[in-house]
Structure 1
Amino acid sequence: MKIVGKLLIVIILLSGCNTSINDKEYYFQEINLEEIWEYSDGESQTIAFIDTGISYEAKNLYGDRIIDTYNSIEDNKDVTDYHGHGTQMVSVASGNGKEGIWGIGTNTKIIIIKAFEEGEQVEPLHIAKAINWAISKKVDIINMSFGSFTSDSDIESKIYSALQNNITVVASTGDYGNKDILFPAKLQGVVSVAAKNEKGTIWELSNVSESDVVAFPGVEINSLTLDNEKIRMNGTSIATALASGYIALLRDYYEKNDISYTNDKIIQDLKSLQSQVNKDVNYEQLFLK
């Protein structure tokens, strides 16, 4: 009788703790992350983050999935993040719940490429080298949570080379609140990502244009600081990281179900979400076809 009583108590306690991952954040609910995870966790995909690197603490958190690193500034393996932006992007795209940060692609493999130091000034050569190195590592997705009003032919050439290798390049439209999206997001074939707010409409500071591919939540998004603390961030950079995680799940789903795809198909599918203007975006519809 005592054993039965204990079992009943356990059953009651478990039934009271049956909460959804969607309940944790508004953007999880909007994407319907819990349902999408039933189809994919992104395990077959590798995301290369071209950014400011990753903190020592975050590198330890995600170390089992970080398969390589490269510093295109100093041409070595040191990718220590002293700014914080790169660490935030990795946690948003690929966080697996450690330190309370959940990303989208919780089981994706990660490559860290440090191409700039302070998050503002960057040499085009370092970006071009970073893309070229990512191609050599046969990554699946390149996350570029940054942009510029100035184009660069060398970077453009390397991006087109990545696209020809069936690598999906994801880039931010910009946080200047105007219609001119930044480079390289404006390049044909690149997944350009605008940001939405909690209401599901375009964030007021997000650059937008008719050529945008997709918009993802980019307001009040949890990410990881250099000190392994939670911080809420706004911006198209954050939205881009979420999009990269989502694309990792999508590509993984295609591959596991023998669905033929190209970058053109991915862009067409993302555009079908109509996520710039539709508050009730059905993100999981691409997994139900």
Structure 2
Amino acid sequence: MRQRAVFSLATVIAAPLLLSGCLSNPSKPHLDTTPFETIEYKGQQGLAVIKASSLYARGGTGQGKTVALVDSGLNQELAEFQGRIANAGHDFVENRPGTTDRVGHGTQMAGILAANKDDQGMHGVAFNAQLIPYRFGDDNEPFFFDSEIAQSWQAGFNQGALILNNSWANAIPATEINEARYNQVMPESLKVARNLVDHGAVFVFPTGNELKREPLAEPGLPLALPELEKGWIAVVALKADGTAINAKSNYCGVAAAWCIAVPGGDAGAEHGLLTTSKDGKYVHTAGTSPAAAMVSGALAALHSRYPEMTAQQVRERLLSTANRTGVYANSEAYGRGLMDLEAASRQAPESALN
């Protein structure tokens, strides 16, 4: 899928693992994250940076939550996805139920998001979540496939997916988009997006891989249509160790209020985020595409920790608990900050549910 602004390869280095205590009440025992910090966990280098083991230790692994994967399809036969498919989805390239994945991008994103915890290679952020894959055009810009994308979103929502992962974006700067222009480019998708956000869905998009100070069209769309913001997340990609923005990622820019930062890797062979390939091997991938998939997985896992919340309340919790210290205080680059699943998974105050 040649959505050239987004699909790319690069680097990740595992960060030190941290044991998280229940800081709000020192009398409580330390949270035991060790059982989750397996070789497989460490194989997916970004998990340690976002402190995923703390969320797992508190019961948030994605159980009971479904994510729509709108991409180049998925090889559903792989062992990493056995038990992870809620519905076979639809292939809009070949116009049939189920999907293939000739390009491999969708399968790689699915691995970051929800590959099984099976002591093999790596596992996804939400290793107990369910996926519904959709395939649209393999070799051109998304705006050529407006109808296919709109149908994918609606079908995924109808099948129970409140989180919609979109590891792609149209190569138009968000600052050049207004409602009238986007309605010319993606009229069907815009109509569906508005409706689904009104009904509680959350859309996740990457900022793009052009090393610019502004995101691409879709991640920045709430600038032109503020009513979308409550159901929108833009994702910026960090270097492997999470210390700074990577060598390709666009900044959060005008999307800062709804943007979050996660590891996406950087340039160099075998230094990206480890994930699944369409032929069943493990490969490294990097850029803002896998960063977006990591955030979609985190939303699903966090929602399973807080099933009493709506998906949009979980979205706000993920954004509001991000780490904004040090370099992450620069909202132009990092938006709301570095995603922190330890902070996000601490006991939610009752006010968050109102």
Does residue 158 in structure 1 map to residue 158 in structure 2?
no
CA, structure 1 residues 154+35, in 2 after alignment: closer, same or farther (shift >3 Å)?
Answer: same
Residue in 1 that maps onto 2:11: none
What fraction of aligned residue pairs are identical, expressed as a percent?
Answer: 21
Contact 2:49 2:241 in 1 (8 A): no
Structure 1 ranges of 4+ moved more than 4 A: 119-122, 278-281
Residue in 2 that maps onto 1:191: 233
Alignment of 1:36-115 (within 5 A): 36-39=55-58, 40-55=60-75, 57-58=77-78, 61-68=80-87, 69-98=89-118, 99-115=120-136
CA, structure 1 residues 25+224, in 2 after alignment: closer, same or farther (shift >3 Å)?
Answer: closer
Question: For 2:148 and 2:339, how far apart are their aligned partners in 1?
Answer: 37
Question: For 1:87 and 1:25, how far apart are their aligned partners in 2?
Answer: 15
Alignment of 1:123-142 (within 5 A): 123-142=145-164
Alignment of 1:224-239 (within 5 A): 224-239=276-291
CA, structure 1 residues 56+38, in 2 after alignment: closer, same or farther (shift >3 Å)?
Answer: closer
CA deviation profile, 1:72-100 (whole Å, cap 9, x unmatched): 33432141100000000001100114541
Q: Secondary structure at the match of 2:157?
A: helix
* Cα shift at 1:18: 7.3
Contact 2:75 2:278 in 1 (8 A): yes
CA deviation profile, 1:219-254 (whole Å, cap 9, x unmatched): 010111121111111110000001011000111112
CA, structure 1 residues 32+154, in 2 after alignment: closer, same or farther (shift >3 Å)?
Answer: same
Contact 1:214 1:274 in 2 (8 A): no
TM-score (norm 1): 0.84
- Which segments of 5 or more consecutive residues in structure 1 lack a partner in the other structure? 1-16
Opposite residue 198 of structure 1, the aligned amino acid is A
Residue in 2 that maps onto 1:215: 261
C-alpha RMSD over aligned residues: 2.5
Opposite residue 286 of structure 2, the aligned amino acid is N
2:328 is aligned, of 261, 277, 282, to 277
Contact 1:162 1:169 in 2 (8 A): no
Question: For 1:118 and 1:103, how far apart are their aligned partners in 2?
Answer: 26
Q: Secondary structure at the match of 1:43?
A: coil
Larger radius of gyration: 1
Contact 1:194 1:206 in 2 (8 A): yes
- Which segments of 5 or more consecutive residues in structure 2 lack a partner in the other structure? 1-33, 173-181, 223-228, 266-271, 330-336, 348-354
Q: Secondary structure at the match of 1:171?
A: strand
Question: For 1:179 and 1:42, how far apart are their aligned partners in 2?
Answer: 33
CA deviation profile, 1:35-67 (whole Å, cap 9, x unmatched): 211121111210110011112542x54132212
Residue in 2 that maps onto 1:11: none
Does residue 168 in structure 1 map to residue 202 in structure 2?
yes
Residue in 2 that maps onto 1:149: 171
User: Which protein has greater RCO, CA pairs closer than 8 Å, 6+ apart?
Assistant: 2
Question: For 1:35 and 1:54, how far apart are their aligned partners in 2?
Answer: 29
Q: More deviation in 128-137 or 188-197?
A: 128-137
Q: More deviation in 81-90 or 161-170?
A: 161-170
Opposite residue 208 of structure 2, the aligned amino acid is G
Question: For 2:132 and 2:345, how far apart are their aligned partners in 1?
Answer: 26
* Cα shift at 1:26: 3.7
Opposite residue 229 of structure 1, the aligned amino acid is K
Question: For 2:344 and 2:187, how far apart are their aligned partners in 1?
Answer: 34
Query: What is the number of residues matched between the two proteins?
Result: 269
Contact 1:216 1:243 in 2 (8 A): yes
Q: Secondary structure at the match of 1:37?
A: helix
Residue in 2 that maps onto 1:180: 214
Question: For 2:105 and 2:141, how far apart are their aligned partners in 1?
Answer: 10
Question: For 1:119 and 1:285, how far apart are their aligned partners in 2?
Answer: 39
Question: For 1:226 and 1:157, how far apart are their aligned partners in 2?
Answer: 32
Q: More deviation in 110-119 or 269-278?
A: 269-278
1:248 is aligned, of 289, 300, 309, to 300
Question: For 2:44 and 2:76, how far apart are their aligned partners in 1?
Answer: 26
